[in-house]
Each structure stands twice: as structure tokens, then as C-alpha cells.
């Protein structure tokens, strides 16, 4: 163990206990802030930027006329009172401070997404559920954002977790340096790896970046670290990859890697409210994915990969 691992710091925006969907068994998910992609369907918009962000939940606010503590607390004068008696945030000036406005809000109508935390601080929370991990085969999952974008912190967290006998997993989009993948892999028990589209131009149009590095990092994990189980996952997004051609191309790419299983995740709109909290528009609008189409696409994957496909319900 590196002596400095427990004191390494990273930007964390959430720790979610008792998850059963992000790796084997019962798990604690540690969400790291920052992502290299800009997926239009992202359900965690608070994860995208690598620094703390102020969120405003008008449903919790008790009105400026009854409180108003946030307005004088802002050192930049970025908060004013709107016509609805709720805070209006000028986000062009809201950055680079400790966000004292959130600290003085008695109703938690203002909150901060993102906080610097040490490896030891995070693992103290993770260790609270060791009994559940032992019985279920669970452990720690790093998620995001893209957790491996905070390479030094992520690797230190994984390495220290293994030292403390906690099984580890990572959810990754793969858009990180290859050396980070190679540094993290020896400390992983499981990988959940997003493969969104095989056409690089289409991938770039919808996520902001091409997919060459993603596919290469997948090969590195599957070939150089073949003892680490991989679950390749595809979020099925209307207008992006919800076609038989798109899914069959992904399945054919995965097929030669015999130890890799595959799961398709149906598009949902669960993150919509958080876009509003951050003062952003919802990029995907009102689109939806019908069950019949999802069933057809799962059959496409099953025809190619057989029992390696995990059916989502």
C-alpha cells in the first residue's frame, strides 16, 4: 500500500448505499465528479463538470420574502429575487467560491453538488456495510461522471479498498488515458463498461467525442486483464442507437471477447429535475423508448451473443 493513498483527495458528489444494480451483490456507489463526454441523455447532469456546482430547488425554498439569507451571503451578488419570490441565480458569475449561500439556506433549497473528500473519508462510509458485502458478494463501485478521469484519486481509492478487503468495481465510459486504465485494472474485481455506438461520427455527434479511445481501452481491459469480468452496457437512446443495425454492430464487436457479458439499458428521464435545479434545459426533451422496440433490440443482441446477454426488466 502507498502510504499516501488514504489522504488522496478527489471531487465526490454523492455516496449511495445499498445499490443492487451496479455490480454483483449489495454495493456502495461512490460518484466522482467530471466527465469527458457530453451525452445528451445523461441522467446525472451534476456529474459532468469537474468542480462544485450550486443547485436551486424551488420546491424547498420558503420564499425570499420570508427568508432571503442567500442574497447577502453571495460574495458575487449573483442571487436576486425573482417574480415568483424565489432565488434567481446569475450562473455566469456563480463560481470559484465556497458557496456560503447554500450554507445559510435553512430549507436546503440551495445545495452544492461536489465536495473534496479523502480516500479515508470515503472508505469509512463504505466500510459501514461490510456485513452486507460479505453475505452478497458486493462491495464498492466507482461511478460518475467518469470516475477514471480523476485518475490518481480513483486508483488510490481502489487500491486502498482492496487493502481493506473490499471488493471493487468501476462504471466507465472508457474515455480516459490508456495508462489510467492499466493503473486501475489490477485493483478491480469487476468492470461495467459503456459502449454506446460503433460509428465514430455518430458517437461524436451525440456525445461530443469520437469512440476510438473507448474501443481501444475496452480491448486493453478484455485482452490484458482477462481475469477481470466485464459487463458491456449500452444505454438504448431514441434517435441515436435504437436500431437493429446499431445494436448488432456493438454485439459483433463484443462477440470475440468470450468472457464479456452484455446488457442494454432502456432510456429514461429520471434526471430531468436535476437539469432544472442547475438552471439547464433538458437536452433530450420529451422523447421516450417504447417497450416493444426495446424487446426487439434485445432479441437482436440475443441472436448474436446468446446467454451472454443480461435481460433488463
Q: Is pLDDT at 2 greater than 80 in this prediction?
A: no
For the segment 72-78, the average pLDDT, to the nearest whole number, is 94
Beta bridge partners of 260: 230
Q: How far is CA 141 from the centre of its chain?
A: 11
Farthest-apart Cα atoms in the chain, separation: 64
Q: Of the candidates 52, 48, 54, which has an alpha carbon nearest to the alpha carbon of residue 110?
A: 54
The torsion defined by the Cα of 265, 267, 269 and 275, in degrees rounded to 10, comes to 90
Query: Would you say residue 3 has pLDDT above 60?
Result: no
The answer to whether residues 181 and 220 touch, using CB atoms and an 8 Å cutoff, is yes
pLDDT in tens, 6-33: 899 999 999 999 999 999 999 999 999 9
**Which pLDDT value is given to residue 11?**
98
pLDDT tens for 274-304 read 999 999 999 988 888 999 999 999 999 999 9
- The structural domains of the chain, ordered by start, are 5-49+115-310 (3.20.20.70), 53-113 (3.30.70.20)
What cell does 268 get?
429514461
User: Which is nearest to 106 in space by CA: 60, 54, 150, 37?
Assistant: 60
Q: Is the pLDDT of residue 67 over 80?
A: yes
pLDDT tens-place string over residues 97-135: 889 999 999 999 999 999 999 999 999 999 999 999 999
DSSP notation for 54-114: EEE-TTT---GGG--THHHH-TT--EEE-TTSSEEE-TTS--SS--HHHHT-TT--EEEE-
* pLDDT above 50 for 1: no
Residues 216-262: pLDDT tens digits? 999 999 999 999 999 999 999 999 999 999 999 999 999 999 999 99
Amino acid at each position: 500500500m502507498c502510504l499516501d493513498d488514504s489522504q488522496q483527495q478527489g471531487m465526490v458528489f454523492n455516496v449511495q448505499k445499498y445499490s443492487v444494480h451496479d455490480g454483483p451483490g449489495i454495493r456502495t456507489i461512490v460518484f466522482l465528479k467530471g466527465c469527458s463526454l457530453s451525452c445528451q441523455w445523461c441522467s446525472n447532469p451534476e456529474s459532468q463538470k469537474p468542480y462544485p456546482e450550486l443547485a436551486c430547488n424551488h420546491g424547498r425554498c420558503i420564499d425570499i420574502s420570508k427568508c432571503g439569507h442567500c442574497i447577502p451571503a453571495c460574495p458575487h451578488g449573483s442571487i436576486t429575487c425573482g417574480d415568483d419570490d424565489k432565488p434567481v441565480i446569475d450562473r455566469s458569475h456563480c463560481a470559484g467560491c465556497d458557496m456560503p449561500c447554500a450554507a445559510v439556506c435553512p430549507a436546503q433549497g440551495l445545495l452544492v453538488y461536489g465536495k473534496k473528500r479523502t480516500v479515508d473519508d470515503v472508505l469509512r462510509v463504505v466500510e459501514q456495510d461490510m456485513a452486507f458485502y460479505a453475505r452478497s458478494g458486493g462491495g464498492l463501485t466507482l461511478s460518475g461522471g467518469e470516475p477514471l478521469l480523476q485518475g490518481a484519486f480513483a486508483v488510490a481509492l481502489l487500491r486502498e479498498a482492496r487493502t481493506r478487503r473490499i471488493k471493487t468495481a468501476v462504471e466507465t465510459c472508457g474515455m480516459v488515458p490508456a495508462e489510467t486504465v492499466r493503473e486501475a485494472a489490477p485493483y478491480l474485481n469487476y468492470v461495467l463498461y459503456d459502449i454506446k455506438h460503433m460509428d465514430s461520427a455518430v458517437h461524436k455527434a451525440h456525445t461530443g467525442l469520437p469512440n476510438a479511445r473507448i474501443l481501444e481501452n475496452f480491448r486493453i481491459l478484455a485482452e490484458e486483464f482477462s481475469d477481470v469480468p466485464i459487463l458491456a452496457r449500452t444505454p438504448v437512446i431514441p434517435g441515436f442507437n435504437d436500431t437493429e443495425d446499431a445494436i448488432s454492430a456493438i454485439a459483433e464487436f463484443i462477440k470475440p471477447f468470450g468472457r464479456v457479458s452484455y446488457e442494454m439499458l432502456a432510456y429514461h428521464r429520471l434526471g430531468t429535475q436535476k437539469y432544472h435545479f442547475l438552471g439547464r434545459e433538458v437536452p433530450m426533451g420529451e422523447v421516450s423508448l417504447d417497450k416493444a422496440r426495446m424487446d426487439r433490440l434485445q432479441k437482436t443482441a440475443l441472436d448474436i451473443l446468446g446467454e451472454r446477454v443480461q435481460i433488463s426488466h
